[in-house]
């Protein structure tokens, strides 16, 4: 079986970068990767989700995000039922507004997927019954929009996807799994760095913000980003500087470097 799934086979409408598929049941499925991301919501049964680094037993209410490059699969899935929301983060094209720098959004959509790879967990969290029921009503609505194609359905689908992402971030905030309290706190620190990278940042400011000791913070950074906090800040500055240089070729390197 081809194990790299292409965008155009699954997200058929290029003007609508979100597709919802129910897997009821989700059959066992070998390791594969995709050109898109998947937001997975388990609503019934049990099964095992695995990657090359970990495997984890899934239960009803589990929510997690798989980014394209991360190879994953399912096994032992007799009764597992889930919704797989395939989306292309690059072509969603709608500003995520204030949600994208909320620690819980970051934890679920950005750090979680990476965290899972390194820690033996999927990096998501588990909804309680009531939250799951609410989320599934929203999922039904998205499916209906996509099916019925009424006026503005693309806009509606994306709007509902945003709503779903926001709800999930709120629920995550209320019930962060133990392991991901750290991911959430790390999210806070990364937001802070992104806002303040152009000035001097002291490690102790970050430590204070993170609720961790400085060695745990450094370890967490290494684990999730592959860099120490200081290296992370330096890399971010270099990256921002090169973006500026490309954008404003007339400005001098010294000027941008200083900035």
Enumerate binding residues for ligand RM4 (CB under 6 A). 5, 10, 23, 26, 29, 32, 34, 38, 84
- Which residue's Cβ lies closest to ligand RM4? 84
Beta carbon of residue 240, minimum distance to ligand RM4 (angstroms, whole number): 34
Nearer to ligand RM4 (CB atom), residue 28 or residue 173: 28
Beta carbon of residue 33, minimum distance to ligand RM4 (angstroms, whole number): 9
Beta carbon of residue 245, minimum distance to ligand RM4 (angstroms, whole number): 38
Nearer to ligand RM4 (CB atom), residue 2 or residue 130: 2
Return the half-sphere exposure (C-beta side, CA atoms, 13 A cut-off) of residue 95.
3
Nearer to ligand RM4 (CB atom), residue 32 or residue 69: 32
Beta carbon of residue 165, minimum distance to ligand RM4 (angstroms, whole number): 19
What tokens does 197 get?
């990278």
Nearer to ligand RM4 (CB atom), residue 5 or residue 209: 5
Nearer to ligand RM4 (CB atom), residue 23 or residue 240: 23
Beta carbon of residue 210, minimum distance to ligand RM4 (angstroms, whole number): 33
Question: Torsion-angle region of residue 154: left (phi > 0), alpha (psi -120 to 50) or beta?
Answer: alpha
Q: DSSP readout, 5-24? A: E-HHHHS--TT--EEEEEET
- Asked whether 39 and 65 are in contact (CB, 8 A), the reply is yes
- Per-residue burial over 116-134, b if 16 or more Cβ lie within 10 Å, else e, is bbebebbbbbbbeeebbee
Distance, CA of 211 to CA of 216 (rounded, Å) = 10
Distance, CA of 213 to CA of 182 (rounded, Å) = 12
């Amino acid at each position: 079986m081809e194990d790299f799934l292409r965008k155009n086979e699954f997200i058929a409408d290029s003007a609508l970068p979100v597709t919802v598929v129910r897997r009821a049941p989700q059959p066992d499925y070998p390791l594969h990767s995709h050109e898109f991301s998947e937001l997975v919501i388990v609503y019934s049964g049990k099964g095992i989700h695995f990657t090359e680094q970990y495997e984890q037993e899934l239960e009803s209410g589990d929510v997690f995000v798989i980014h394209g490059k991360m190879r994953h699969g399912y096994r032992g899935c007799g009764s597992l039922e889930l919704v797989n929301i395939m989306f292309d983060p690059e072509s969603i094209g709608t500003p995520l507004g204030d949600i994208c720098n909320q620690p819980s959004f970051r934890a679920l959509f950005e750090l979680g997927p990476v965290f899972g790879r390194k820690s033996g967990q999927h990096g998501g969290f588990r909804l309680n019954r009531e939250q799951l029921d609410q989320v599934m009503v929203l999922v039904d609505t998205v499916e209906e929009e996509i099916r019925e194609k009424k006026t503005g359905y693309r806009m509606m689908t994306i709007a509902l996807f945003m709503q779903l992402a926001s709800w999930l971030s709120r629920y995550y905030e209320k019930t962060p799994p133990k392991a991901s309290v750290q991911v959430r706190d790390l999210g806070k620190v990364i937001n802070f760095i992104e806002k303040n990278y152009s000035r001097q940042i002291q490690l102790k400011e970050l430590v204070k913000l993170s609720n961790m000791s400085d060695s745990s913070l450094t370890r967490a950074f290494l684990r999730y980003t592959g860099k120490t906090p200081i290296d992370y800040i330096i890399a971010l500055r270099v990256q921002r500087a090169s973006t500026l240089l490309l954008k404003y070729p007339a400005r001098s390197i010294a000027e941008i470097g200083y900035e």
